[in-house]
Structure 1
Amino acid sequence: MALDGQDGHVTLAEDLLAGASAYSVATWVNLTGQPATWSRIFDFGTGVSANMFLTPLSGAGTLRYAITTGGGGAEQRIDADPLPTDRWVHLAVTYGSGTAVLYVDGREAGRNTAVTVEPRYFGNHIRAAYVGRSQYPDPYLKAAVDDFRVYGTTLTAAEVQTLAQGT
């Protein structure tokens, strides 16, 4: 899917990952030039206080995965080097048993072993699940996104590497 950075995005099923205590999200992304700060590859949750997202460019200049039930000031995160632009990159975030791992092109780019927030703590209803759009008033993503996958389980490093190899 081509996302134009203006208003193009994909709305996924409501309640995606509702009640989940383990999950993985994987996709291919080709950023069109420098991404806008705080644009989203994905953003799932119930609004600005309870959500999980992946941004190609945080305010700190990093690729960032974050999850929170207490708003931006209470995020549990993983920061990694910024993504390359104008080429396809495979991204994956896995979570299970308190550990979240961020992968870029099948390699671990960051890890947080102290994650205590899970989608099941977002409440009874996940109201938003977007690709290319934030629940905050942030810019939309300008990129191509392909093979967007959501799993209700924690993929292993070998499984992520297999996805990144396209096999």
Structure 2
Amino acid sequence: MRNRLFLCVILCIVGVVMASATGCWALSAEKQPLLHFTFDEGAGDVLTDATGSGKIALLEGGVEWSTEGVSGGALVFKGVDGFVRLPDNVAKDLDAMTIALWVKLNSNPLWARVFDFAGSKGFMYLTLNAGAPADNTRFSIYAGDPDKEPILSIPVDNFALDTWYHIAVTAGSGEGAEYCFYVDGELKATLPVTHASKDIGSDVLMSNYLGKSQFPDPYFDGMMDEFYLFTEALSADEIAALSKR
């Protein structure tokens, strides 16, 4: 019994040391990602979901590969015509969610999208320069009623050019649920939930992009790495762990 206890303690210590050394982190089984694109392929125009789901995303336009990501490879968006087409329907039925990724801005044009999901009833997007309120970012879920459209904003000066930032947006479900906006693991803003991602589409959720708007707005100009989509609103501690390089 004593030997078994000693072995368990040693294994726990080793696990903590390895996690610290490699930047790994652990989540409970019910909070595993629905999608995880590492951007480590290094060539071609197909991204493979690292969760093993078999889903793929496609590079379109002028997206290039880089070996200078936060973790391995990354994607370079030139701000001209390049974007990632994410799988259809991935957020169609979600009551709660977390979207997280690393971004590095080369420039930050007005209304350029980090991500933009659209369905038959509306759209869900994140821009790091909405211009209004003055010089603010914006995460929003529009589902047909502008009076219920949440606008979660933080000052745009949270994001300097040529610097990697970890961004995470969560949307909870149930009574008292909130949207939360995190930068580098730090909670920056909250807002009561009025819509879920499932509210923007009925039968089919199409046109899911990284780096491109549903509208004729500028394209994203910079780099992205390690995109995650979860079917739960991760906790502040989980977001902080995810943001560690």
Give the alignment's TM-score, normalised by structure 2: 0.64
- For these two proteins, the number of residue pairs brought into alignment is 163
- Among residues 99, 107, 118, which one is paired with 2:186 in the alignment? 107
Which deviates more from structure 2 when the two are superposed, residues 68-77 or residues 139-148? 68-77
* Greater length-normalized contact order (CA 8 Å, ≥ 6 residues apart): 1
Aligned with residue 69 of structure 1, among 143, 148, 169? 143
Shift of 1:75: 2.6
More strand by share: 1
Question: Is the helix fraction higher in 1 or 2?
Answer: 2
Aligned structure 1 segments of 4 or more residues deviating by more than 2 angstroms = 71-75
Unaligned runs of 5+ in 2: 1-74
Give the aligned partner of residue 111 of structure 2.
38
Does structure 1 conserve the Cα–Cα contact (< 8 Å) formed by 2:167 and 2:181? yes
Larger CA deviation: 69-78 vs 8-17: 69-78
The DSSP-based 3-state class of the residue aligned with 1:84 is coil
Give the drift of 1:137.
Answer: 1.2
Quote the Cα distance in structure 2 between the aligned partners of 1:131 and 1:71: 25
- Structure 1 residue corresponding to 2:206, chosen from 109, 119, 127: 127
Q: Deviations over 1:62-83 (max 9, x none)?
A: 1111111127675311110212
Pick from 223, 228, 234 the counterpart of residue 149 of structure 1: 228
**Distance in 2 between residues matched to 1:100 and 1:31, nearest whole Å:** 24
**1:4 aligned to 57, 75, 78, which one?**
78
TM superposition shift of 1:153: 1.0
Give the TM-score, by structure 1 length: 0.92
What letter is aligned with 2:199? Y
Give the greater-gyration-radius structure (CA).
2
RMSD (CA atoms):
1.5
- Contact 2:131–2:137 (CA under 8 A) maintained in structure 1: no
Identity over aligned pairs, percent: 32
Q: Which runs of 5+ in 1 are unaligned?
A: none
Question: Of 85, 89, 96, which residue of structure 2 is paired with 1:15?
Answer: 89
